[in-house]
Amino acid sequence: MRDHRMWIGGQWVPSESGRMMTTKNPSTGEDHAGVPKASAADIDAAVRAAREAFPVWSGMTQAERNKVLYEIAAKIREEADAMARDECAEHGTPYNDAYGVCMGAAAKFEWSANAAYRLMGEEIPVPGDTLTYLKNEPVGVIGFITPWNLPTIMTAVKLAPALAVGNTCVLKPPSINSAIGLKFAHVLSQVPSLPKGVVNIVTGSGSEAGAALASHPEVDLIGFTGSSETGKEILALAAPTVKKCVMELGGNNPVLIFPDADIDASLKVLAWRQFNNSGQHCSGPGRYYVHESVYDEFAAKFKAYAESLKVGDTTSGDKSIQMGPLVSAEHKAKVLGYISGAVAEGATVLTGGDAGTQYGSGFFVKPTVLTGCTHDMTCAREEIFGPVAVLIRYTDSDDLVTMANDSRFGLCAHIWTRDISKGMKLISTLHVGAVFINCQMLTDEQPWGTSVKESGIGKEGGIFGMREFVDKKLVCVKYGE
């Protein structure tokens, strides 16, 4: 097991107290890495480093900052294999997926560099010889708290747009897979054109390091992805200094399968999304409302897909593995609890349903399909965040839209029908931030669907997400008599 240090002010440093914490290999359950357990003092040092670097970084031209972001992207590509193997070992991502994620992280920096040029000022027409316009300026020091479910790509999603427009950052990676975050710091440390202190990566617990970052008076904005419950705690910590917050929180996303849906096409998207990353996707399907006329066919094909997956130890070197373990023993127990709870409420396990002990000693749960579920069951009301498909049969007499909207979350919804007119008419009736009809596509250009109900605040991704990291300053100039 290797011990790591944190990246603060361009230096590798231990925690001030010398405390450490241990991460696990989820495929084996064995210890993986030792990482520093930061305190409020370490967070303060990182924030001070970011504050000192801010005038330098924000004072560079866009072309100068872009050059650095391109160099970061190139370095990520050079290190992609090693980064991918770290994600396999500490998160349980299959190698092919992990490598693709790393290449996607590189693309985030390139896209953000190019997109930053589009954040132009806006002139406001006023009478008389007066010029009034809005000038975009970086917010300042950004505190990022990233999620454990997509550790590499979410580090890039957070850092790239914030850096592109001139902010400096302190990032706390998830405690469960902190070494992945420190691997990202290692990549950044090899980019000499990145000024010291522009990015600082500090490991520690959410209750201590995360809380210190969210409440620090010199942090201007908090960017967070995680559960709605933790998001509410961060909002409370940020409130005394009225920090701006950008948050992508929980989701329990409805899927509407109509009688005329192309079942095979839907499963290529939905079943893949359900089990990719072991179901640990905020944008993944949460509850499937399937019309009674196609319910049995949909369930049978979903079962066949689940049973066709190759599940296993993502550190074994077998690149044909399609699904790995869950991220932790605690999360495994939570997911299995949802499955047993569903059975107790009357659901049927069509396939899977238990720990995958045949895959190894890690935190495995078999790809699972639950049938006979109803809208009021706990498995349909809460976010399972695992490889568990919850299938609900509906009839023509059911109010489908009401059921779809009956959730405290509002991240996204999926519609599958050959009648595009029907699908388009449903868009305005679904109270969510994003609607996918006969597809699911997330690109660098698209803003992600937060800011509805308890699923978040603000936007992430695309030019709209980048705008979250600038303040608009009003300028008014009188140039006539």
| pLDDT tens per residue across span 31-89 | 999 999 999 999 999 999 999 999 999 999 999 999 999 999 999 999 999 999 999 99
Q: Is there a shared CATH topology between the 2-249+455-475 domain and the 253-437 domain? A: no
- Whether 282 is a known active-site residue: answer yes
* Count of residues in the chain: 481
pLDDT at 480: 79
Q: How far is the C-alpha of 436 from the C-alpha of 380, rounded, in Å?
A: 20
Catalytic residue among 248, 383, 460, 468: 248
Q: How far is the C-alpha of 76 from the C-alpha of 84, rounded, in Å?
A: 10
76: which 2 tokens? 């990520």
265: which 2 tokens? 């096409």
User: What CATH superfamily classification does 253-437 receive?
Assistant: Aldehyde Dehydrogenase; Chain A, domain 2 (3.40.309.10)
Spans of all domains in the chain: 2-249+455-475, 253-437
Q: How far apart are the first and last CA of the chain?
A: 74
pLDDT band at 449 (very low <50, low <70, confident <90, very high): low
Greatest alpha-carbon span in the chain? 84
- Whether 476 is a known active-site residue: answer no
- According to CATH, the topology of domain 2-249+455-475 is Aldehyde Dehydrogenase; Chain A, domain 1 (3.40.605)
Look up the pTM and report it: 0.97
Give me the sheet containing 244-248, strands edge to edge.
11-13, 6-8, 199-201, 168-172, 141-145, 221-225, 244-248, 456-457
Q: What is the mean pLDDT of residues 315-324?
A: 96
Q: What are phi and psi of 190, to 5 degrees?
A: -95, 10
pLDDT beyond 80 at 414: yes
Q: How far is the C-alpha of 45 from the C-alpha of 53, rounded, in Å?
A: 12
Catalytic residue among 88, 169, 245, 282: 282
pLDDT at 360: 87
